[in-house]
Structure 1
Amino acid sequence: MSLLKRLLNPNYKSDEKAKQADKADRSSYFPEQKLPIDEKFTFNFKNNGGKFIYCEDWEDISEAFDNIMLENDWYEQNVFCVNEMLTKKFDGFNLNFTKNTDSKFFFSTCESLVSTNGSILLSSNQIKEKKLSELPSNFIIFATTSQIVETISEGLRKIKNQSTGYIPSNITTIQDFETEKEKDFMSYGSSAKNLYLLLLEDL
């Protein structure tokens, strides 16, 4: 079942309960069923505190973006964005696109979405040579379903395969999207971001 059908199908939860009951009846010698990577990413991303918005087309993307602007009162603000495709697509939203990190939010694409830990893989293609701590605390990331990968290693291979003569530097991941939560020793030193993900179906 596709991601869209799983999200919109009212019987999906009852289907899942049936599957869980069936799983309980199965012998312990059977291998455990593997969760699809899109479903695993969605679960882990939300568990990290990210705000996930699934979109079927560009009309959905524009509507979701508009709602984010209204919700946070971000209209007429500076936006750190180095991606020309995004600045052209969202030119009519009364925003000041700049390469200055002292902005209200960071608007960008990404390299991959990593399902294993629900993280976002970024490189110098998106953030130049900036550190995550230098970027605005608010992120809006635009990505497509074809960018979901199982592991960080797979994401790195994808970067290498897509690069022709130039491999991006400053490759990093971000997976802490709850700016208000209390830090534990595992997240010490990380830079939490308030992150919205606009995910466009392209499969």
Structure 2
Amino acid sequence: MSLFKKFFGSASDSSDAEKDSEYNPFSTENTPIDELFTLNFKKNGGKFLYCDNLTEVKNLFEDILTENDWFENDVMCFEPKLYSLLDENKLNYTNIQNPKFLLASCESLIADEGSILFSSNQIKQRKWQDLPVNIIIVATTSQITVSKSDGMSNIKKQYDKDYPTNITTIKYFEKAKEEDFLHYGSVAKNLYLLLLEDL
């Protein structure tokens, strides 16, 4: 074997290495984005509930209320399109003092990190620390994007003139067992996602 081949390998050696690196049974590269989001979201501690239709959304919302005994409580909600869910279950969302949970939609669901992208349309100008610990999100499968930059692009397309402010993501849905620099400053939330199939 020549000295150059020893140090640099032959062309056939590198192609074999490329073939080996192409197949990885644990790779998420070819995973559909809805599955990728679900895997990462659950890994972050989120509670995921899939819904085929609006009736299932309502039923599962009631199940969450029952499970946590959240009936007849104050709820933080800034979106009129979600008020019917609260009205049907006699939950107060006006003049709230101590909200038990936040009910909101979102801008995007970010697949590559299992996070949720919000704006002032859902949370006004509130910071994560100021939101209730418990959050219920109602979203659709068409809101799943590969990355945060795709989510930002969708916001730019959707809001041509009235561009929302306070754009932020939440990624951690349970308290980290060991605090590290990745979790520093993050506030863990108890988060349920009602994901409605709309594709």
Gaps of 5+ in 2: 1-18
Name the amino acid aligned to 1:198: L
Runs of 4+ residues over 6 Å off in structure 1: none
Identity percentage of aligned residues: 51
Whose radius of gyration is greater, 1 or 2? 2
Residue of structure 2 aligned with 1:28, choices 12, 20, 25: 20
Match of 2:73 in 1: 77
Q: Determine if contact 2:37/2:111 at 8 Å carries over to the other structure.
A: yes
Q: Determine if contact 1:144/1:202 at 8 Å carries over to the other structure.
A: yes
Match of 1:128 in 2: 124
Name the amino acid aligned to 1:34: N
Instruction: Give the distance between the partners of 1:181 and 1:141, measured in 2 at CA.
Output: 24
State yes or no: 1:184 paired with 2:176: no
Q: Determine if contact 1:176/1:191 at 8 Å carries over to the other structure.
A: yes
Report the alpha carbon displacement of residue 30 of structure 1 after superposing the two structures with TM. 4.3
Kindly tell me: are residues 181 and 172 of structure 1, through their superposed partners in 2, closer, same or farther at Cα, counting changes over 3 Å?
same
Q: Root-mean-square deviation (CA), in Å?
A: 1.7
State yes or no: 1:46 paired with 2:38: no
Instruction: Give the distance between the partners of 2:162 and 2:120, measured in 1 at CA.
Output: 11
Kindly tell me: are residues 76 and 180 of structure 1, through their superposed partners in 2, closer, same or farther at Cα, counting changes over 3 Å?
farther
Residues 55-94 of structure 1 mapped to structure 2, 5 A cutoff: 55-94=51-90
State yes or no: 1:197 paired with 2:193: yes
Residue of structure 2 aligned with 1:138, choices 134, 137, 142: 134
Kindly tell me: are residues 114 and 29 of structure 1, through their superposed partners in 2, closer, same or farther at Cα, counting changes over 3 Å?
closer
**How many pairs align?**
177
Q: Deviations over 1:130-150 (max 9, x none)?
A: 101000000000000000000
Kindly tell me: are residues 191 and 57 of structure 1, through their superposed partners in 2, closer, same or farther at Cα, counting changes over 3 Å?
same
Name the amino acid aligned to 2:190: N
Report the alpha carbon displacement of residue 59 of structure 1 after superposing the two structures with TM. 1.0
Report the alpha carbon displacement of residue 98 of structure 1 after superposing the two structures with TM. 3.1
Gaps of 5+ in 1: 1-26
Report the alpha carbon displacement of residue 182 of structure 1 after superposing the two structures with TM. 4.0
Kindly tell me: are residues 93 and 186 of structure 1, through their superposed partners in 2, closer, same or farther at Cα, counting changes over 3 Å?
same
Match of 1:115 in 2: 111
Q: Determine if contact 1:101/1:135 at 8 Å carries over to the other structure.
A: no
Q: Determine if contact 2:176/2:183 at 8 Å carries over to the other structure.
A: no
Name the amino acid aligned to 1:141: I
